[in-house]
Structure 1
């Protein structure tokens, strides 16, 4: 459970060396073949995900082949296998593009161009030219990073198994469902090579002092503002920062100190908050000595110099995977109180605490900075209101056992450039039969999440980045780590006595949802968003056919039911064994629903039909 006590100040020691692997090469250093291979992979993914979301409707030709006729007059023919949830697996090497030639006859050639496919299907899917223009920018940025990875080969699955969790994050390939999953609109090519996780570059954070009243610090009850600074900054650094403020003729204690991402400080804060900087309401203090490593979300930074120090979540004014990547002020304000409530509630649960040993990586402190003018203007687009703030989260290193290895759930979907899935390497290293290893994995991941949902009517969003798995010395899964509570934790409308009193303002930081939506968070994050992609890897590389894979997942759900028959009414309310689930189409939302319209608020995805449940 989350440890919300004030931490001791860690000792500084030299930053460890990162593995000596090449960073991202410049675009001019990427070969044409690497570019085409990246396109082939992304084209296959686009066909699969667009067909899954019913953006396009391929026609079956027989023998595992399908034809997609588009309004543009172009057709694509491809080979694919169908999987659970009506999913698709498209063979990247068996796609052709047919178009009418100069003589009026249709000519089919091998297809490899993902951007051409988007142009070809724009009318069919119902997107418009402005949306397509920005989306192709995201697509090209994604392809550039993927091609760079192909060009230098990357680490093998065996090499990745030896990495720490923070370094391992830098080798992941992005969101499995979203096609343009590394768009990062706002980053230049130089920015990507400096700040993207796959660049594996050390980053030093800029620290600033913000006048009280403009900035507000919040922490868990046992964690003061001074304790956070003691934890995060060496005494010499704190003294130097105080001297900077005193040199401006100001009182250091009249300010809230906080880190800022260097890109955000240069590109956003000094622009939007220029008046505050000019009037000494915001004072730049300089860099701290610590080195940080960007994680998959790009805006979360892990401390490399002192591993026990907090991870820092910082806003970035870029668009990536559907939204602007700022930090909403209500989220920064609500993070510590949400952590305290969850720690107090779930930390006393004997199943979670003693049997499952679940770890909540608490968001223990934050700084909120509202814009002095725009914060009071109704309907201001949220990108302008989420520019400055920070959240400190407990690090994995501060909570894991001595010999425990912790890796993100997402890492299990990674396949190296030799075609070896990371999950297959873990199974090999464990010495267990694949079925036994998977059975342990499913119980490790599902049982804590199901227990919280059934017992308290609370859902996390345990997707690939938010859920981490702790492994024993033999790489067998043994417990779950969860993070990202504020804005990702929801409570059911149903009044549940076990939940007790909830924090004030729950409508902002603890949104109320129906039981179906609470369940859908689990379904989307675990079943549709992860196991749907893990099943083919298990079938192709671990000798576990997909029907058996899904039976093992169902067995894990049923095993929890059998251990806790007293919750039978909750099993029906949050029915994981229902015949079907709603489908929430993420790519459709970007291309057709939301597009790139500047909105005042983030919005919820709209369901688009249903998919059959393989656990039914």
Structure 2
């Protein structure tokens, strides 16, 4: 067992003196040092905030010395090769008093590098051995170091060498599992436990009690465990729990926080059915693994995102859905799949395509779209020719087939196996990969075309379990999607108020689904009917000016690994004050949603990933609403074309206003408001007064909508508290029935409306 502990000069001086003056330590350059010289040198190192020294023990026996230092504050400072995230390292293995065991030095060296890389902020280890020290240089190279060049430093000519985290992990053979390290999992556990405590308290599933005399300290009993933590409670009962503050004891003994343990302890009050508890625990474990992977691989400072492009921001998001505790389930993905297809991996992939027999396939097209134009654009030039040649080579007529985009995972894990009979009888034909590179988005199954950003998003069926649903696509349900999008888009584009707010819709302009399989010949519904389908959605890229930046609204809720918030950074980088920035944001987001509700009884599902913001000079200027087909509803008697009638819903009067109260206030704005308050940018009272002002200004500008405004009464004192985690906890396999979402809602009393006024 190898441990590395703080150096104690009073205890360790004699040992150090013997080591550094030994003839084998000639490159340590202290051969003639007296004990007082050694004490003076290491007292200086220990007092230096940029330098540290520690003692290494092997099986409890002092065996090596390790120094770490900031290269920027050393003799290497100013070298152009240095990068942020570098740490310098020296290691001295104790001169042996007996024949060492084989591989002893290699074992020590590995422990020292593990110690250096234990800090997730460290990206590279820098060493500068004497060029004459052939033995240590060979050890360095074997451990993953790359020798850059010779550099002069005091007392020697050094070989500047660096080891990236990736090179070290590759040398050890742990590259794929390096994120599953104790330090990273501990951070992930604390973050998720803090989130669970906050969101479960928000949904009134648990009721923490204040600790007497403890400022912002709370206690929660959970089975045999007791949790004490620091938290601040903002408007809408929004709990901000500090992860580092969480203290857990079990029968009075301190134990590390563990999210799965917390779920099991709280299971009786969470209401998870016994048979579904393992599924939820698996989604929690997957969420923890994803968080650790992101801590390890996606430590992107907020400062690097302020001016980043759309896809750079998308890949940098680390939280997932802000309200759901188990929000990165992705059950079905293996480790290789995660690293290939998770949006935070930021990797481009090529979609697979299958030809589906036209007689068994539904293709729906929006206004202005033809089949030939769709395929000519998506499968440009030689790709379409290659696909048609493949069909002709099998003796098949390309005119008898339609082309369906397929997620690479879906092809390997579902279509090639579960639909083998369909492939064998040539009702489906695998055509191979397309030519364009695509980037998975935070919604998992939707892809952005990075080869041709002006081309459409592609949304594919994906049979993995994620956040309460198997992410398939129903050919029957999607048949009306283009018509629904056409109606919504035409309604929005024809409205002067919405145009003035810069509010637009990204149309889902084509949908396709295969229905020739055995599962569609069954009498009852089945998730297997949602395995082979896709749709195309417009890209926002052609519709923005060169000086505008695109980002999904989810980015407003993003904090980096150091806790810095992107929305705060954008406000500080903008030319306006915080109140003006928030007012512009609410005009681009909230005001159009209020207008759609009042003017058309039209409600969207406007959470962070469904809305793309446009920024100019870091200030919101407008928004694109997307994911229309599945997540839009008309809640009144507004006339609709017959093919769009599906979106008309019957909702109780006290539920209709939740399209803003739950989906906007509770689902998005409570998080933005808390971030700004926590960062000292804008108080909660100021934020919610701006929300109220936005709604009142809309009402003043539209007296013709006064009756609708009174009916929805968005500024009422309180509204029903609709809870998301309760839905997932009730049924971890399918949270809601998409054909009757209102009936699926679960309420926990009412909440005071912070936009109603008199906010403390």
* TM beyond 0.5: yes
Against the structure 1 CA distance between its residues 341 and 514, is the aligned structure 2 distance closer, same or farther, given a 3 Å change threshold? farther
| Alignment partner, residue 466 of structure 1 | 610
Establish whether residue 396 from structure 1 lines up as the match of residue 540 from structure 2: yes
What is residue 194 of structure 2 aligned with on the other side?
44
Is 232-241 or 268-277 further displaced after alignment? Answer: 268-277
* Matches of 2:314 and 2:352, distance apart in 1: 23
RCO greater where, 1 or 2, for CA within 8 Å and sep 6 or more? 1
Query: Of 550, 563, 566, which aligns to 1:406?
Result: 550
Q: 156, 162, 167: which one pairs with 2:312?
A: 167
Give unmatched runs, 5+ long, in structure 1. 1-19, 101-106
| 1:608 partnered with 2:748 | yes
Unmatched runs of 5 consecutive residues or more in structure 2? 1-122, 124-163, 170-174
> Would you say 1:594 and 2:739 are equivalent positions?
no
Work out which of the residue numbers 208, 227, 249 in structure 2 matches 1:76: 227
Pair 456,599 (structure 1): closer, same or farther in 2 beyond 3 Å: closer
2:520 equivalent among 351, 375, 378: 375
Instruction: Give the corresponding residue for 1:8.
Output: none
2: CA distance between counterparts of 1:200 and 1:518?
38
User: Is the alpha carbon distance of 1:95 and 1:189 closer, same or farther for their aligned partners in structure 2, counting shifts above 3 Å?
Assistant: same
Instruction: Give the direction of change, closer, same or farther, for the CA distance of 1:438–1:181 in structure 2 (3 Å limit).
Output: same
- Asked whether 1:310 is paired with 2:310, we answer no
Query: Cα gap change, 1:346/1:237 in structure 2, threshold over 3 Å: closer, same or farther?
Result: same
| Structure 1 residue 464 displacement after superposition | 0.3
Per the alignment, do residues 341 and 264 of structure 1 end up closer, same or farther by CA in structure 2, a change over 3 Å counting? same
Kept after mapping to 2: 8 A contact 1:359/1:482: yes
Partner of 2:693: 555
In structure 2, distance between residues paired with 1:480 and 1:328: 28
Query: Is 1:525 aligned to 2:671, yes or no?
Result: no
1:490–1:513 contact (8 Å) kept in structure 2: no
Q: 1:575 to 1:234 in 2, by over 3 A?
A: same
Give 1:135-150 correspondences, 5 Å limit: 135-150=280-295
* CA distance in 1 between partners of 2:695 and 2:303 (Å): 31
TM-score (norm 1): 0.90
- Aligned-partner Cα distance in 2 for 1:510–1:400: 32
Task: Decide whether the 8 Å contact of 1:352 with 1:358 is kept in 2.
Answer: yes
Any idea what the Cα deviations from partners look like across 1:346-396, whole Å, max 9, x if unmatched? 22212223x123221000011122253322434433x21211111100011
**Alpha-carbon distance, 1:39 to partner:** 0.7
CA–CA separation in structure 2 for the residues paired with 1:262 and 1:118 = 34
- Cα deviation per residue 1:112-139 (whole Å; 9 max; x = unaligned)? 2212211222233233443221212111
Q: Are 1:480 and 2:623 an aligned pair?
A: yes
Could you report, residue by residue, the CA deviation over 1:98-117 in whole angstroms, capped at 9, with x for unpaired residues?
322xxxxxx15264221221
- Kindly report which structure 2 residues correspond to 1:347-358, keeping only aligned pairs within 5 A, or say none: 347-353=493-499, 355-358=500-503
Larger Rg: 2
Mapped to 1, the partners of 2:336 and 2:275 lie a distance apart of 25
Verify the 8 A CA contact 1:31 1:151 in the aligned structure 2: no
Shift in Å, 1:598: 10
> CA shift at 1:76, angstroms?
1.8
- The count of residues paired between Structure 1 and Structure 2 equals 581
Q: Report the secondary structure of 2:387's partner residue.
A: helix
What residue in structure 2 maps to residue 583 of structure 1?
721
Counterparts of 1:597 and 1:465, CA distance in 2: 20
In 2 relative to 1, CA 510–310 (structure 1 residues): closer, same or farther, beyond 3 Å?
Answer: farther
- Which secondary structure does the structure 2 equivalent of 1:26 belong to? helix
Give the Å deviation of 1:32: 1.2
1:204 and 1:288 in contact (8 A); partners too:
yes
8 Å CA contact 1:490, 1:518 repeated in 2: no
Task: Report the 3-state secondary structure (helix = DSSP H, G, I; strand = E; otherwise coil) of the residue aligned with 1:49.
Answer: helix
1:272 aligns with 2:418: yes
Q: 1:197 to 1:310 in 2, by over 3 A?
A: same
Question: What is the RMSD of the two structures over their aligned residues, measured on CA atoms?
Answer: 2.2
Q: Which residue of 2 aligns with 1:53?
A: 203
1:501 CA displacement: 3.1
Q: 1:97 to 1:328 in 2, by over 3 A?
A: same
Q: Which moved more, 1:289-298 or 1:165-174?
A: 165-174
1:283 pairs with 390, 407, 429, which one? Answer: 429
Change over 3 Å in CA distance of 1:162–1:400 after alignment to 2:
same
Matches within 5 A, 1:157-306: 157-173=302-318, 174-306=320-452
Q: Give the Cα separation in 1 of the matches to 2:671 and 2:748.
A: 20
Deviation at 1:178, TM superposition (A): 0.4
TM-score, normalised to structure 2, is 0.73
Conserved in 2, the CA contact under 8 Å of 1:440 and 1:476? Answer: yes
- 1:3 alignment partner in structure 2: none
